[in-house]
Structure 1
Amino acid sequence: MNAKTKTSLVILMGFLAITSCGKKETAPAEESVEVNESTAETTAPKTEENVLVIEGNDQMQFSTNELKAVAGKPIKLTLKHVGKIPKEAMGHNLVILQEGTDQAAFALKANDAKATDYIPESEKASIIAHTKLLGGGEEDTIEFTIDKKGKYPFLCSFPGHVAMMKGILIVE
């Protein structure tokens, strides 16, 4: 490892240590959203079962490790990076893989795929869908359909994140 890489890692680790410690921010209690029945019906129709939202943060964590969807119906998945660190240092994406995919082998190949935002070209057949690589404050929504019931692994393919940022999409 060269000196530049070591210095970058030390700076990143120090920044992570500082930002992950301390008081968590919470939204003020007096903020409320007024919803009337006509608005609720037009913005969130009851027929949209497969609307999923997941967050990634600066502590390399997804907000959940389990998502559920109905087979054969379109899935609308939104990934929100709720942290503040830019994607070059703490990028997050969400990659949904085919059942049976070797996640560790996929992650190793992803480490070398910086040019394609850590989505390895050689593994396209293993990928059902994926979001863009996001930095703090960004979000991305993808739409796809899975016809077959099953348990599909998902992960963040940014180098080193798969150890903590993974889960299962259960399609019933």
Structure 2
Amino acid sequence: MTTKRRRCVLGLLFMLTLLLTACGNGNAASTDGPPRQPGELEVTAVGTNLAFEQTTINVRAGQAVTLTLNNGESSLEHNWVLVRGGEDVARTVAGAALTAGRANHYLPSDSSDILAATQVLPPGEVETINFVAPEPGIYFYICTVPGHYPLMRGRLVVEE
């Protein structure tokens, strides 16, 4: 391998390491914070990491859930979309969101796979939505703003 090629490969590895380090804060999901009423949740979009602070949320089936999305981002819009099904459904919804566009809050016109969603929030904005937790299982939530899905996703674990 030539010196130039070796430097290029090392540079790419270094950049990949920086990217992966920047994408996570090293902490597991947490629901710590001020006490909340049962069923009240807050999800925060974190800094410039293109990430939700909470990557796993646990609720009970049939529970009335009040979810607040806090877009703590300084320059990007975000939304929170809970999809019916696993990662394959989340990927399909994220793809369809591209064609839906900003005017439709990046929500596909066929909403049969969407269980709950916020609007697209500008930086610093907050929105609260209410929904009933679905039947037991693991559901994915994502940000459908173009380019955000690969990093901005999490799991809603619904227990009996």
TM-score of the pair, normalised by structure 2: 0.72
- Cα deviation digits, residues 28-76 of structure 1 (max 9, x gap): xxxxxxxxxxxx8xxx5xxx32111110033211102101111112001
Contact 1:49 1:70 (8 Å CA) reproduced: no
Aligned to 2:137: 150
Match of 2:59 among 61, 69, 77: 69
Secondary structure at the residue paired with 2:149? helix
1:162 to 2:152 alignment? no
- Identity among equivalent pairs (%): 30
Contact 1:96 1:130 (8 Å CA) reproduced: yes
Aligned to 2:106: 118
CA distance in 2, matches of 1:147, 1:99: 11
Comparing both structures, which one devotes a greater share of its residues to helix?
1
Contact 1:68 1:169 (8 Å CA) reproduced: yes
CA distance in 2, matches of 1:73, 1:102: 23
Contact 1:49 1:69 (8 Å CA) reproduced: no
Residue identity matched to 1:55? T
Aligned to 1:103: 90
CA distance in 2, matches of 1:107, 1:50: 26
Structure 1 stretches lacking a partner, 5+ long: 1-20, 22-39
After superposition, the CA RMSD in angstroms is: 1.9
Structure 2 stretches lacking a partner, 5+ long: 1-21, 23-34
**More displaced, 92-101 or 153-162?**
92-101
Give the 5 Å matches for 1:4-153: 44=36, 48-57=37-46, 58-85=48-75, 90-100=76-86, 102-114=89-101, 115-122=103-110, 124-153=111-140
- 4+ runs of 1 displaced by more than 6 Å? none
Contact 2:71 2:124 (8 Å CA) reproduced: yes
CA distance in 2, matches of 1:95, 1:102: 12
After superposition, the Cα gap between the structure-2 partners of 1:81 and 1:146, relative to the gap in structure 1 and judged at 3 Å, is: same
